[in-house]
């Protein structure tokens, strides 16, 4: 799916609450967002990785969209 929207970074300190909320959601799925380099750096604890938090305010989602079969029978 392609999504068009506005990208906003969420820097500290003005977005502390939003960053904490996102961090708590991400913590439920242990390290799923890390690529191989990030995983390697975390194992050897060399270069600390500072997460980049951002949001996309969706403006449009063109194209086809899947629906549940139950919705079609409605």
Q: Domain of 34?
A: 4-69
CA distances from residue 47 to 8, 35, 40, 69, 71 in whole angstroms, order as listed: 25, 15, 10, 48, 49
Whether the CB-CB separation of 41 and 49 falls below 8 Å is answered with: yes
pLDDT at 59: 95
Contacts of residue 62, Cβ cutoff 8 Å, sequence gap at least 6: 2, 4
Is 11 contained in some domain?
A: yes
d(CA 58, CA 24): 23
Give the model confidence (pLDDT) of 42-64 as tens digits: 666 655 667 789 999 999 988 87
Q: Is 67 helix (H, G, I), strand (E, B) or coil?
A: coil
Is 74 contained in some domain?
A: no
Give the model confidence (pLDDT) of 9-33 as tens digits: 999 999 999 999 988 887 787 666 6
Number of domains in the chain: 1
């Amino acid at each position: 799916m392609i999504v068009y929207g506005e990208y906003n970074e969420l820097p500290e300190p003005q977005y502390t609450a939003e960053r904490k909320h996102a961090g708590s959601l991400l913590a439920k799925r242990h390290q799923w967002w890390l690529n191989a380099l990030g995983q390697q750096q975390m194992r050897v604890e060399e270069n600390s990785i500072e997460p980049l938090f951002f949001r996309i305010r969706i403006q449009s989602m063109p194209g086809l969209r899947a629906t549940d079969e139950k919705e079609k029978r409605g």
